[in-house]
Amino acid sequence: MPDNPISGKAGNITRLIQMLCYFDRNPELEVDFVSLGDWNDGWTKSEQESFYQKYPSIKLHILKRKYKEKIFKYLFLYKLPNLFKRNHIDMSSFILRKEFRKIARAKAYDKIMISYASFGYLIKGLNVKSDCIIDTHDFMTSQKKNTIKKVGKLFQDEIDILNKFDQIWTYSADEEYIFNQFINSKVLRVPISFPFQECYTDKKYSCDIIYVASDNEHNIAGITWFINEVLPHLGDRKVDIIGNIGKVIPDHPNLLKHGIVEHLEAYYTSAKIAICPMLSGTGIKIKVLEALSYFLPVVTNKRGVDGLINKSLNGCLVTENSFEFANNIISLLDDPALYAEIQYNAKKYFIENHSSHKEIEILDRVLLNRQ
């Protein structure tokens, strides 16, 4: 996975940390983690040291995709080949595939797991006997459809990549259905889980509304819509905003921006409801699940419940209308009976579908051959 688990708090990082913790606490597994040094902000020396402190049993490999500091290698092994790339989903490079092959062939790995279809071509030409798993995270065709108009070509490119793997993992019930229609390999839905936090009926709330998000384009579009179309209907009710999204939104007396926080659970446990304004994007929204793990009712749009097994009775109030969005927030804050009903639905849905033991059972079966 190209991302750095020590840097950032986005949903994909949350998921990465969960997987690394699972690997690290299972002594039966010998695990190497391959990441990219030229992806986003890369890796600092101190972050590499922090990685080994947090995951002492996992060996870290940091590769490069571009070699930008070596101009000839960059031009002839990355830039020029990239101009003639036939697969629009693929984000690997000749350089990266070559370096990855060295690692993959150095050991007789039982399993090789790749995150994102964009890096699926890393197994191209490996010629190893490893069981290859792709952890898709997202349906990339939908992510790229606004930048590349040939949706049919994008879809075929993604399916071509996924069909190279022995097993395809998805977190989304919607994507599980799509993949099963077009892919010959085994498709497995792995539920994203969190430890659930017990709620108390006499709980005191220090904040009404919490919003947790990174500053990706989908979150920016969603919170911009919320500020312009929903916030004016909320009166003096305040929203506590956590994460990098606070850097890209304007100051407002009813928006309390906290940035990236060390102990997110303190904010969730003091909040009454969560919001997830989401007009675009694909895949399951990890921050929605995280809020549900605290049994918080969530007010969101249709995109906010993408990938959930249940589209209703799941702890979420869903609407595309800005006035209804505001009214759902106000109703939850002011109507104890409605709040108790939606909170009950959140708790029931989460425990039945996303509790930690369900995910661990699947991971143990696939990775440790436990029945």
Q: What pLDDT sits at residue 74?
A: 58
Task: Report whether 161 contacts 87 (CB < 8 A).
Answer: yes
User: Does residue 266 share a domain with residue 343?
Assistant: yes
Last residue of a domain, one of 193, 219, 248: 193
Q: What pLDDT sits at residue 170?
A: 92
* 198 domain-assigned: no
User: Does residue 149 share a domain with residue 219?
Assistant: no
Q: What pLDDT sits at residue 43?
A: 92
Model confidence at 84: pLDDT above 60: no
* 1 domain-assigned: no
User: Does residue 154 share a domain with residue 103?
Assistant: yes
Q: Which residues contact 31 (CB under 8 A, 6 or more apart)?
A: 23, 24, 57, 58, 59
* 123 domain-assigned: yes
CA–CA dist 249, 309 (Å, integer): 32
For residue range 165-206, list pLDDT tens digits in order: 999 999 888 889 999 999 989 999 998 888 766 655 556 668
Mean pLDDT of 357-370: 89
Q: What pLDDT sits at residue 15?
A: 86
Model confidence at 239: pLDDT above 80: yes
User: Does residue 249 share a domain with residue 187?
Assistant: no
pLDDT tier, 319 (very low <50, low <70, confident <90, very high otherwise): very high
Last residue of a domain, one of 142, 163, 193: 193
User: Does residue 236 share a domain with residue 119?
Assistant: no
Q: Which residues contact 69 (CB under 8 A, 6 or more apart)?
A: none
* 43 domain-assigned: no
User: Does residue 133 share a domain with residue 78?
Assistant: yes
Task: Report whether 6 contacts 50 (CB < 8 A).
Answer: yes
- As separate numbers, helices (DSSP H) first and strands (DSSP E) second, the chain gives 14, 12
Last residue of a domain, one of 127, 159, 193: 193
User: Does residue 329 share a domain with residue 217?
Assistant: yes
Query: Considering its fold, how many domains does the chain have in total?
Result: 2
Sheet architecture: strand order including 298-300: 255-259, 239-242, 207-212, 271-276, 298-300, 316-318
CA–CA dist 147, 297 (Å, integer): 34
**Nearest alpha-carbon partner for 290 in 265, 266, 272:** 265
More confident residue, 280 or 20: 20
Q: Which two tokens stand for residue 201?
A: 């009926």
User: Does residue 329 share a domain with residue 218?
Assistant: yes
Q: Which residues contact 62 (CB under 8 A, 6 or more apart)?
A: 34, 35, 36, 37, 43, 48
For residue range 48-77, list pLDDT tens digits in order: 999 999 999 999 999 987 766 566 565 656
Model confidence at 79: pLDDT above 70: no
User: Does residue 229 share a domain with residue 182?
Assistant: no
For residue range 108-145, list pLDDT tens digits in order: 899 999 999 999 999 988 888 899 999 998 877 766 66
User: Does residue 288 share a domain with residue 236?
Assistant: yes
User: Does residue 324 share a domain with residue 245?
Assistant: yes
Tell me which H or E stretch contains 112: strand 111-115
* 306 domain-assigned: yes
| CATH number of residue 317's parent domain | 3.40.50.2000
For residue range 155-164, list pLDDT tens digits in order: 889 999 999 9
User: Does residue 272 share a domain with residue 167?
Assistant: no
* 52 domain-assigned: no
Question: How is 30-91 classified by DSSP, letter by letter?
Answer: -EEEEEETTSTT---HHHHHHHHHH-TTEEEEEE-SS-TTSHHHHIIIIIHHHHT-S-SS--
For residue range 263-293, list pLDDT tens digits in order: 888 999 999 999 999 998 777 888 999 999 9
Q: What pLDDT sits at residue 78?
A: 57
Burial per residue of 337-359, b for 16 or more beta-carbon CB atoms within 10 angstroms, e otherwise: eebeebbebbbebbeebbbeeeb
* 9 domain-assigned: no
More confident residue, 115 or 80: 115
CA–CA dist 195, 68 (Å, integer): 42
- Residue 340's domain spans which residues? 207-354
* 16 domain-assigned: no
pTM above 0.85, yes or no: no
